[in-house]
Amino acid sequence: MNADASRPTIDTSNPHPARVYDWLLGGKDNYPVDEAVGERLPPEAKDAARQNRAFMNRAAAWLASQGVDQFLDIGTGIPTAPNLHQIVQEVVPSARVVYTDNDPIVLRHAEALLVSRPEGMTDYIQADVREPLEILAHARTLLDFERPIALSLIALMHFLPDDQDPFGIVGTLVDALPSGSHLVLSHASSDIFPELSAQVAAEYAKGGIQLGFRTRAEVDRFFKGLDLVEPGLVTAPEWFKDTARPDAEGSGIYAAVARIP
């Protein structure tokens, strides 16, 4: 953990994505400004948050079941049990998980992410995904980049509009990973429920948070050159493997896992 960031300053005058998401998930680590955004969102936003988190659960458990034991999770969010390391260490106790987020409130709650099983390891990097080389340099000190790593960008990239180079950033991260690694990505759509998406984006924008919701074709671009794992790029509740089929329900979240050749 960065020593100089050990006393993070929390801005409670503006809403923050991690805290609005925490409110949507029913968490308590948010402030009135975050709740105000959440209250103005359509009720489907809570469903989307729940579906997204459930996808993360299934995808992480499946990857661990395939023997993946190194995870780099960027845009981790405020701890919400079960967290990624709890899911994967249930399957592979020696799994190593590196968390990253740019929000000081996530750093403040990082202790909950650092309670690893003794056989495994967790760590936390306070960093912005828009500085991928900085994240990679730090992650190289914690993970073995000679062996496959699962990179998870769960409900993160829609916080980067096109002018912030989202595709270039994901390309930089993916290119640094060895063959046999995986990219796990979920992303809010602009084309499944266009009116709802526009409403959600407008409410976040009023709080000063710019969103880049994307079409299916645009989200697919993040996986260019990678081998999508079945069932491919689908909505979050449609992505499952080796588990019971989740309840069929509409979802505005795209999700996929892909193998890096």
Ligand X SMILES: C[S@@+](CC[C@H](N)C(=O)[O-])C[C@H]1O[C@@H](n2cnc3c(N)ncnc32)[C@H](O)[C@@H]1O
Q: Which residues are at the interface with ligand X (CB under 6 A)?
A: 17-18, 21, 52-53, 56, 74-77, 101-103, 106, 128-130, 154-156, 159
C-beta of 167 vs 180, nearer to ligand X: 167
Distance, CA of 60 to CA of 185 (rounded, Å) = 11
C-beta of 25 vs 36, nearer to ligand X: 25
CB of 186 to ligand X, least distance (A): 7
CB of 135 to ligand X, least distance (A): 9
Question: Pick from 132, 141, 28, 16: which is nearest to 80 by CA?
Answer: 28
Residues 6+ apart with CB under 8 A from 181: 148, 149, 150, 151, 174, 259, 260
CB of 187 to ligand X, least distance (A): 10
- First CA to last CA distance, the chain: 32
CB of 198 to ligand X, least distance (A): 18
C-beta of 70 vs 80, nearer to ligand X: 80
C-beta of 178 vs 238, nearer to ligand X: 238
For ligand X, the nearest residue by Cβ is 77
Distance, CA of 218 to CA of 167 (rounded, Å) = 10
C-beta of 26 vs 180, nearer to ligand X: 26
Burial readout 26-59 (b: 16 or more C-beta within 10 A, e: otherwise): ebebbbebbeebbeebeebbebbbbbbbbbbbbb
Question: At residue 125, what is the residue type?
Answer: I
CB of 48 to ligand X, least distance (A): 10
